[in-house]
Amino acid sequence: MAEENTNTEVQDVKNPEEFLANFNWHNYEEGIDQVEDEKLEEFEKLVAANFVDTDDDAVVEGTVVRMTDREAIIDINAKSEGVISLNEFRYNQDLKVGDKVEVLIDVREDKTGQLVLSHRKARTIKAWERVNGAHDNGEIVNGFVKCRTKGGMIVDVFGIEAFLPGSQIDVKPIRDYDQYVNKTMEFKVVKINHEFKNVVVSHKALIEADIELQKKEIIGQLEKGQVLEGIVKNITSYGVFIDLGGVDGLIHITDLSWSRINHPNEVVELDQKLNVVILDFDDNKSRIQLGLKQLSAHPWEALSSDLKIGDQVKGKVVVIADYGAFIEVAEGVEGLIHVSEMSWSTHLRSAQDFVKVGDEVEAKILTLDRDDRKMSLGIKQMTPDPWTDITTKYPVGSKHTGTVRNFTNFGVFVELEEGIDGLIYISDLSWTKKVKHPSEFVTVGDKLEVLVLELDVEGRKLSLGHKQTTENPWDKYEGEYGVGTLHTAEITDTNDKGATVALNEDVVAFIPSRHLEKEDGKKLKKGETAEFKVIEFNKEFKRVVASHTAIFREEEQKNIQAAAKKQQSNEKTTLGDLDALQELKDKMEGKN
C-alpha cells in the first residue's frame, strides 16, 4: 500500500520544481513531523520548571518512592530516578516510602545509566550551612552527646561531630562526664575553624546569661555579716568554694573550723548545703570571703572560768615546730609548749625529739591570757627538778658515766641524766693526746667516764673532766724522761726550726736545729737514729726538748775542764818549787 501511495504521488506530480519546493525534508530525514518552534520553547520551559538539572551540584529534596534490601529509590523530579545506599540512613532506622530526604547528585550516570545520589554528602553540606547560620545568628541548636574524649565530649550537631569542652558543660565543675553520654542537649555554637573543619559548642553559654542576671541581683544585696545558704562547689587544699546561687565565694581553710585541720575535706564534702557568713568582699564584689566557724561561738568563750595557772591539763599534739608544739586542750583551744619547757635539760634540742603529732600529753599551765587567747604549757614541770638535790647526787670529785649529746669546738656536752648536763673542756679529754676537735676523740651517743670538777648550782652548770678519771702518766714520764736522761730514738720529722723524735707513744721530743749537729759538724737527718739528751721537761704543757749535740759537747767540756784542772795542778807544783828555792835563797842570803 505504501508503494502504491508513493507511486500515485509521483504520478500526480506535474511540476517537479513545485514538488521540490514543497517537499518535507525533516520528515524524510527524521521520520517524524517537525515541532513548531513556539511549541518547542514552551516544552523546554515546562521541563526546566518541573525537572531537576542533573548538572547542578546543589542539594535538592527528594521523595522515597521505593526501597530494596540495599537501596532507596529517590524521585528528585529529574529525567530519571536516583538511588542511595541504605547505609547512609543508618541513623534513621524508620525511613519509609514517602519520606522527604535531602540529596546531592553524586554520579550523574553510572555504568548502567542509573542516576546515583548521596544523602550523606547532602546532609553534611546542609549541616555546615546550618552550623554557620547558628554561629552567625547565635541560635540554639540541639545536639546528641555521643561519647567522652580527652578534655570533654563529642556531640553530633546536624550530623557534624562537634567538640564540647569539659569547662563548657556547666557553670560548676563536672566530676562525672558519663552522665551526659547518649543525651540530647541544647548548645550554642561558639567557634568554627573552617580550615580544619572543627566546631566547638557550649552548653554553659546558654545558662550564663540567666546566671549573670541572677548574679547581679545577689551581688547588689550582699552585706558583711550576712548569712547565706550555699552549696559546696569545689574543695582545694587552701579552702572551699561555695556557690551562692550564681555567685562564688571562698571559705579559707582557717575560717572553716576553730580547731586546726589538715584539709578542708575533714569538715565539708562536695555538694553539701550549709550556711555561711560574709566576712569581706572587694569593691566589685567579685571576690567574696566567707566564713563557717564564725557561725558558732569561739571555744575560748566556753573555756572554764575555774582554769588557772598551775593547773594540770590533758591535750593532743596538733602542730609541731622546731621551737615547740601546740597542744589542743579543748576544741579550738590550744596552748604552746616551748621546747625549753619539754625537758629540764639545757642543751639545744628540737621539739620532735620529745613529741609527735597525735600524741596525748599532760602538761601544766604556765601562762594564761584569756583576752589574747593565749596559753603556754610545760611538760617538764610534771616531774621534779633534778637540780634540786644536785649536790648530793653529783658532788665535786665524784665519778659518773654519761652520754655524749653534743660537742662544740671547745668541748663536749655529756648528759648524766635527763636534765643534768655537764661540759668537758677539750683540754680535759686526754692527758697525752693533743685533741684539736672533740670529734677526733668521741662521737655523739658514746658512753664516757667523767669526774665532777666544778658545780655551780645557781647557774645550773657542771664542769666535768674525762682525763681526771685516770692517773696522769706525765707524773711517771717526769722520772723516765726528766732533764738529763739519755734516750736513743729515730728522727721522725724535720723542719726549718728543728726535728722531732718519739720517745714513746705519748712523749714526743723536739730537737732544735742547733742541737742536731753531730760531732763531725754535719746535722742529723730524717730517719737517722741517734742518742739524745733531755734538756727541758714541762709536765704542765707536755713539752720535752732534747739535744744530740749536747752529748758530745758535754764530753768535750768535761775534757776541757779536766785538762784545765791538770794544768792548774802542774802550775801550782812549779810555783811551789820556785817558792821553796826562793825561800832557800833568802835563807842563804840572810845567813850571808
What is d(CA 142, CA 159) in angstroms, rounded to the nearest whole number? 11
Q: How confident is the model at residue 268, as a pLDDT?
A: 92
**346-397 residue pLDDT tens:** 666 788 888 888 899 999 999 998 888 889 999 988 888 888 888 888 999 8
Report whether CATH 2.40.50.140 matches the domain 138-207.
yes
Q: How confident is the model at residue 562, as a pLDDT?
A: 64
Helix (H, G, I), strand (E, B) or coil at 196: coil
**Alpha helices, DSSP H, located in 93-156:** 119-137
Q: How confident is the model at residue 83, as a pLDDT?
A: 84
Q: Is the pLDDT of residue 48 over 60?
A: no
In degrees and rounded to multiples of 5, residue 158 shows phi and psi of: 60, 25
- What CATH number has the domain spanning 299-382? 2.40.50.140
Task: Give residue 399's pLDDT band: very low, low, confident or very high (50, 70, 90).
Answer: very high
What is d(CA 201, CA 157) in angstroms, rounded to the nearest whole number? 9
Domain boundaries, the chain: 2-48, 49-121, 138-207, 221-295, 299-382, 390-469
Q: How confident is the model at residue 138, as a pLDDT?
A: 81
**Going by C-beta distance under 8 Å and a sequence separation of 6 or more, which residues neighbour residue 233?**
172, 173, 241, 242, 243, 248, 270
Closest to 489 in 3D by CA, of 443, 520, 437, 526: 526
Instruction: HSE, CB side, 13 Å, CA atoms: give it for residue 18.
Output: 5
| pTM, full prediction | 0.42
In degrees and rounded to multiples of 5, residue 32 shows phi and psi of: -135, 165
Q: How confident is the model at residue 54, as a pLDDT?
A: 46
What is d(CA 6, CA 28) in angstroms, rounded to the nearest whole number? 13
Q: How confident is the model at residue 290, as a pLDDT?
A: 93
* Chain centroid to CA 365: 38
Q: What is the average pLDDT across 471-484?
A: 82
What is d(CA 61, CA 356) in angstroms, rounded to the nearest whole number? 80
Q: Which three cell numbers stand for residue 376?
A: 603556754
What is d(CA 198, CA 187) in angstroms, rounded to the nearest whole number? 15
Report whether CATH 2.40.50.140 matches the domain 221-295.
yes
Architecture of domain 390-469: Beta Barrel (2.40)
Which position has the higher pLDDT, 33 or 258? 258
Q: Is the pLDDT of residue 92 over 80?
A: no
Do the bridges between strand 420-425 and strand 461-465 make them parallel or antiparallel, or are there none, so unpaired?
Answer: parallel
**289-302 residue pLDDT tens:** 999 988 888 888 87
Angle at 395 (CA atoms; ends 389, 400), nearest 5 degrees: 100
Percent above pLDDT 70 for the chain:
81
Q: What is the average pLDDT across 252-267?
A: 89
Q: Is the pLDDT of residue 568 over 80?
A: no
Identity of the residue numbered 227: V
Q: Is residue 174 within 8 Å of residue 166, measured between CB atoms?
A: yes
Judge if 299-382 and 390-469 fold alike in CATH terms: yes
Residues in the chain: 592
- Of the given ranges (61-70, 73-82, 187-196, 570-579), which has the lowest mean pLDDT? 570-579
CATH class of 49-121: mainly beta
Q: Is the pLDDT of residue 526 over 70?
A: yes
Residue by residue, DSSP assigns 244-269 as: SSS-EEEEEGGGT-SS--SSGGGT--
Q: What is the average pLDDT across 181-185?
A: 88
559: how many CB neighbours lie within 10 A of its CB?
10
**Alpha helices, DSSP H, located in 13-155:** 16-22, 25-30, 37-50, 119-137
What is d(CA 450, CA 457) in angstroms, rounded to the nearest whole number? 18
Largest distance between two CA atoms of the chain: 241
